[in-house]
Chains A and B, each alone.
Chain A
């Protein structure tokens, strides 16, 4: 069984202590929602788990994962930016990330259909709306299988139908034994999620 846990985790960015002494654990088929006011370190926590920021103190351990790979290499990271190139078509954008990220191929063929963009496959990404860009970014998570999903404000720019679609994708992921770490201000449409509330330490 896969289990991601941290003990006494601390993060310093730009010389400022963002958080310290943070401990949490997420198991397979579990979702942990990170909440808290602006600037409290929700995004920093996700970037830290992704391996993009080094922890100032403490440890982050993944049990039951692939010992050859780092945590970041087994995770999908959906940040504030959509990692799309306006000059490439919808299909080319998704195809690049599918090839580049590698690993177990998920539903690469119908990933666009899963996020409702199959009719726009040949459209350059520059013509997509903010919500459509977000959905194309989500298609990456469907196309390639990774056990850990790190979602930073996943519902931003999504309409009600797309939020329901995202919730469905997350339920499928959890049902398959995956785990989710999401930073959010509002509900993400999942029942029975664990919550990690970060409090301002100023």
Chain B
């Protein structure tokens, strides 16, 4: 097994075992979205109108939950020192860690979204549109979060600071994610325009996230 695939397998294993964060994110997502109809009341028209926004906000918050463990866990037990010394470039190592994080927390959110669409009175097309935007947009949330996780790596209990740092940066993703979902449901903007921008944001974060995170990790361990 190559170095990077070994890291991917290890991080996925850690996430799905006892004490890992894989299920917490999707359970939190389920609870937040389930609470909304109780808070708003049984106004089906209103629910279906704001449904995509609720799903996106839920996904945004659920994604934050396990982010503080993304790099800090390796820092606490000394693994990060060895990852820094390894022959695999740090940029790729942190990118692989973020990929493992997305597979275990981001992807389950995408899979859970269609079920939650029922609670929010979304029809089949609308549910499909939201799930598609989440599939395209949640990697951006993870890779932007990766920068925050790297910046707070040297801090004990950096979770709250992480949320404050990361949430403002995810605003564009939220705007275009919800805009694309609404475009598919009510129009009048075609789905393609905001969806392409969402994909562009994701591609950009895939490049910028690991580079910035690697710089931040190197600085914080000096």
Contacts and interface: CB of A to CB of B under 8 A. Distances in A.
A85 B6 CA distance: 14
B17 interface: yes
21 contacts: A50-B81, A51-B84, A51-B85, A54-B222, A72-B84, A77-B82, A80-B78, A83-B78, A87-B13, A88-B10, A88-B14, A88-B17, A96-B6, A96-B7, A96-B10, A97-B82, A100-B83, A101-B3, A101-B86, A101-B87, A103-B87
Measured as residues with beta carbon below 8 angstroms from the partner, the interface class of chain A is 20 to 34
A80 B35 CA distance: 46
Contacts of B79: 83, 85
Contacts of A86: 19
Contacts of A77: 81-82, 85
A92 B6 contact: no
Contact of B14 (A72, A80, A87): A87
Interface of B: 1-3, 5-7, 9-10, 13-14, 17-20, 76-79, 81-88, 221-222
Contacts of A47: 81
Contacts of A97: 82
B2 A73 contact: no
B87 A69 contact: yes
Interface in A32-82: 47, 50-54, 69, 72-73, 75, 77, 79-82
Most chain A beta carbons < 10 A, residue from B9, B20, B78, B85: B85
A159 interface: no
B6 A88 contact: no
A102 B83 CA distance: 12
A29 to B, nearest CB: 23
A87 B85 contact: no
Contacts of A199: none
A53 B222 contact: yes
A79 B78 contact: yes
B84 A100 contact: no
B88 A100 contact: yes
Contacts of A72: 84-85
Given A85-B10, A87-B18, A102-B87, A52 B81 contact: yes
B222 A73 contact: no
Given A52-B221, A87-B18, A99 B6 contact: yes
